[in-house]
Structure formats: C-alpha cells, structure tokens
Homo-oligomer: A and B are copies of this chain.
Amino acid sequence: MIEGKNSIATRPVSKGNSFLTSFSTITGNELPEKFVMATNEEANEAVEKASAAFVIYKNKSGEEKATFLEAIAEEIMALGDDLIDRAVMESGLPKGRLTGERGRTVGQLKLFAELLREGSWVEAVIDTAMPERQPMPRADIRKMLVPIGPVVVFGASNFPLAFSTAGGDTASAFAAGNPVIVKAHQSHLGTNEMVGHAINKAIKKCNMPEGVFSFLIGKGSELGIKLVTHEGIKAVGFTGSKPAGMAIYKAAVNDRKVPIPVYAEMSSINPVLLLPGKLQKNEKLAEQLAGSILLGAGQFCTNPGLLFLINDDHSKKLIDELITTVAAAPSAFMLNKGICKTYYKARKERKNLDGLDILVDGEDHSSEYKSSPFLSSVTGEYFLANRDLQNEIFGPASLIVECKDHAELLKAVNALEGQLTGTVMAEESDLSAYKNCIDALENKVGRILFNGVPTGVEVGYAMVHGGPFPATSDARSTSVGADAIKRFVRPLCFQDCPAALLPAELKNENPLHIMRRVNGTFQNSSL
C-alpha cells in the first residue's frame, strides 16, 4: 500500500537512488518501507509546477478554495483507521491521541473553509475618489490581501497530522491562495504519503491545478535548504528545533537574492506563575500541572517547562505533591530516536549543575525509546545567573524556580526569553498584588492564560500560537487559528482600477457581502 515515492503535481516520482526509512519507537526497528529521496531536479520541478499552478489557483474564489479544503478533510477521514495505525507506528503516540489529532486536522481545514466562505479575512479597504478635493483631487484607492506564491511546509515530528502534510501551515497557505510543497518529516513518511495522496484526490475531485501540491522526501539540511533557497518559493512554514529553524531562517535571508518570510516555531518552555493566593488554596494544582507536563510524553510545544513560585509553606506543599504525582507517571514512547537521545542527554547535563536540586529523576528507558519524568528545582537567584536553564528540554520535564520574594519573581519574569505561552495561576487577590509580574509576562508571550494549562491549543478565530523569539522567528504571526492565513499574504492596492478588473472583494456592489472599511468606516453594505 505504501509506494515510497515523492509526489509532484499529483504524479509519483522516484528518479533518486537514495532512500529513507521511518523508525518506529514501538517496534524498536525501522519500518519495512523504503522511501526514495527527491533529486535536485525533482525539487526544481515541484517548484516550477507550483509557480505555474499559482497563476491559476490564486484566482480561485473563496467558495472554490473552501470546497477544496473540505474535500481534503473528507479524503483524510476516508483513509479511516489505516491512517491512524500508520501514524501510531511512526510516532509512538497512542491511538486516542492521534484520533483526536485527526479531528483537529480536519477541524482546521473546515475552519479555513468557513473563513473563506465568510470572506472578510482579506481586510478590504476602500477610499472612494474625491474629484473636487483641494488642492489635489483624491483618486479611488482600494486594497485587500492577496496570496504571495508557492509555500514550503516542513512536517513536524510531534504532530504527524495537525502540523504536517495537511496540517495548519498547509491549510492556511492553501486558504490564502498559494500552492504548497511539503518537505515530509523523516519520522512519519508513511503517514505523509497517505495524507499527501488524500490531498491529490481532492485536487482531482475539485479540478484544481495539479501543481498546487507536491510532497518531497529528503533531509532537512539538504532538500529543505534547497527548497527554501529556490527563487520560486515565497514563504516557509516550519515547526521544530531551534537549530533547524534558525538554519532555515538565516538561509532565507542570506542565501537568497530575494529574502522571504520564514515562520519557524522553534522553542518555548511556557512559564507558569504559581502565585501565593492560589498556592494557599491549592485545589488539585499538582494534578493539573503534572497532567500538562506529562501529556504526550511532554512532547508539546506548549509543555509547561518552567514553574515559578515564591517560597512559603504552601509552595513547599505543592512541590511535595508535584514530586509524588510526577514520579508516579508511567514511561511512554517518544516520537523518535533523536528526540529520545536528546531528552536523556539534556537531563544528564542538568544533573551536572551544582545549583540544581533533582526532585524526580525517572529511570532511563532510552533503550526502549521511552521517556521517564524529570523534575528539578533552582533558586530564583540561580535561575537569574544561568541563562542556559531557559533552553527547552523536549519531553516530560519541568523546572521549578523558587523565588525568595516578589521582587525576585519580577526579575525572573523580566529575564525570560520569548515564549508561546505564559500561565498565571492566581486568586483574585494575586491579580492586583502581582500586576507588575503579569504585565511583564505579557511582554514575553504570544498567549497569556489564567488558571488553566497551556497544552490543548484551541483552533479558533482568537487563538495566537506564536510569540517573541525564540518561540518563533516572527512574533507578528500565529500558526494556529484563523489568522494563520495572514502569514501567506500581502496587501495589494488598486488605484482608479476599472470596475471590471476589480476583485469581487473590492467591487462597489460588494457581491460577497463582506465587512469592509469604506472611507474609514466599517460596513458590509454595497457602495
């Protein structure tokens, strides 16, 4: 059933003579299928086909693109359990989690379809002509967001469905009107192929230009960089490690004649402020936090890797409870060999630090590619003096920072690098008392949340899954939710454009009934 080939413009290609395999942490072996790596010529061909398809695809209506996205969702569901089973083998994630992730993937596609049908996302703005204005007449000026061209999407290790072949980056790039070339993640090449073929079926069903989608197999440092530096590529979506993300980001600026935007989500330790009033009340706080730390073997971008508290009797009680809860966690398969190796290596490095107290040091299950939990603590002072403690440990690990007082907590928050999320665990009384810490946390994060856990990212209109560097390479963006579409567009202005040539979104009649800003005022009526 698995062919092991690349796909360019819906056609299988396999001229290469180097191969990759997917390793299963569950079986402890390479899976039997061999996947042929794309040649340079094939990579070029995919970009050429995408560029040619762009000219057609960019002019598809919102309705047509919405139907296409829904067809992709249908074809993914039609793969049934085969897809889930393959993803389990390739990612080590449990079936329930992957079934949920499939729901999210399909949900994302449908959210963008809804956004396209409603249509206002293009941010249409119209300033009508003022021929009598003195000293100079005003021209008729209109603008809207338009697609930019072929986008490269890198599959992510930790979300083989929702952040990979037909994940959020692909869905938002398609929704914006751009062709997509997916660089499949080596960890789940079979899953990629199955989903890629589902997209190909949707292309045929919806009569889309075939070059609108290709997927290619290869190494990130070779095929990935080759694609990113190809002049036909106009933007990049990436989720993964900081070194890989920065290599792509810098290549897109330094190794291209024309630099392009790179949306790389890279690294976040998602600090949680456990404020004194909340600690006093407690209410199963340890259970809630441990659940988030251990979820999916800790392999979430929003895993709470840093817990801040101010020393008192209640904080000591919480730490004791956390130790008990976290230590009881069963070992769990990790996503791949590399992540497992890096996880235990990072733990070992931490254990060599003088100022660090080990609270939970689970057994080494690396021979089975399984994680065990790791919990440690430092003083606020030590945290402030050791910036490396902010490096992400990808896995079920968290670091407790015990601050001596309010002032030290504020300093620690101000010393944080950029984060996807920041969480405030607070009672009413804490909110006013620690207003400056909360304000400081806002400056560091893309999402601030209260009395919840950062894992479980909602896919909706208001979500921001982004944040200041190094959480992402571009704090202006979100990779989850409706506004993810804005990463792959640019504004285009039409001055005195004849009515016949205006896009529907900018016509006087407002045939799509979208919300527009007309001479400064929002309205969804016609002119």
Name A residues whose Cβ lies closer than 8 Å to a Cβ of B: 55, 100, 114, 118, 120, 125-127, 135-136, 138-139, 141-143, 146, 148-149, 249-250, 253-254, 258-259, 261, 417-418, 428, 431, 438-439, 442-443, 445-452, 456, 458, 460-464, 466, 468-470, 473-476, 478, 482-483, 489-498, 500-501, 515, 517, 519-520, 522, 524
Contacts and interface: CB of A to CB of B under 8 A. Distances in A.
B259 A452 contact: no
A145 to B, nearest CB: 9
Contacts of A469: 258-259
Contacts of A468: 258, 490
A132 to B, nearest CB: 15
Given A442-B492, A501-B431, A461 B522 contact: no
A519 B450 contact: no
B496 A450 contact: yes
Say how many copies of this protein the assembly contains. Answer: 2
A141 B458 contact: yes
Nearest to A486: B476
A517 B461 contact: yes
A118 to B, nearest CB: 7
Nearest to A478: B491
Given A431-B498, A450-B498, A520-B114, A462 B126 contact: yes
Contact of A446 (B253, B442, B447, B493): B493
Contacts of A517: 461-462
Given A141-B462, A473-B259, A520-B461, A452 B491 contact: no
Contact of A460 (B141, B259, B438, B494): B141
A52 to B, nearest CB: 12
Contact of A259 (B100, B148, B249, B501): B249
A418 B138 CA distance: 26
A452 to B, nearest CB: 6
29 contacts: A55-B439, A125-B462, A136-B456, A139-B449, A141-B460, A141-B462, A141-B463, A249-B253, A253-B253, A253-B254, A258-B417, A258-B468, A261-B476, A428-B498, A446-B492, A447-B493, A447-B494, A448-B493, A448-B495, A449-B494, A450-B496, A450-B497, A452-B495, A452-B496, A458-B495, A461-B519, A461-B520, A462-B517, A463-B493
A517 B123 CA distance: 12
Closest 6 CB pairs of A and B: A449-B495, A464-B493, A447-B493, A141-B462, A127-B462, A125-B462
A474 B474 CA distance: 12
A115 to B, nearest CB: 8
Contacts of A475: 148, 490
Contacts of A463: 127, 141, 143, 493
B524 A522 contact: yes
Contacts of A449: 139, 494-497
Given A148-B475, A458-B141, A469-B258, A448 B492 contact: yes
A460 B242 CA distance: 40
Contacts of A249: 253, 259
Contact of A458 (B127, B417, B456): B127
Contacts of A446: 490-493
Contact of A462 (B142, B431, B464): B142
A489 B253 CA distance: 22
B495 A447 contact: yes
Contacts of A118: 520
A491 B498 contact: no
Contacts of A148: 475
Contacts of A498: 428, 431, 450
A474 B460 CA distance: 27
A178 to B, nearest CB: 12
Nearest to A418: B258
A491 B520 contact: no
B519 A448 contact: no
B259 A495 contact: no
Given A446-B491, A490-B476, A520-B114, A127 B452 contact: no
Residue among A452, A460, A473, A489 with max Cβ neighbours from chain B (10 Å) = A460
Given A249-B259, A438-B501, A456-B136, A491 B515 contact: no
Contacts of A141: 458, 460, 462-463
Contacts of A491: 446, 464, 466, 476, 478, 483
Contact of A127 (B55, B114, B461): B461
Contact of A138 (B135, B253, B460): B460
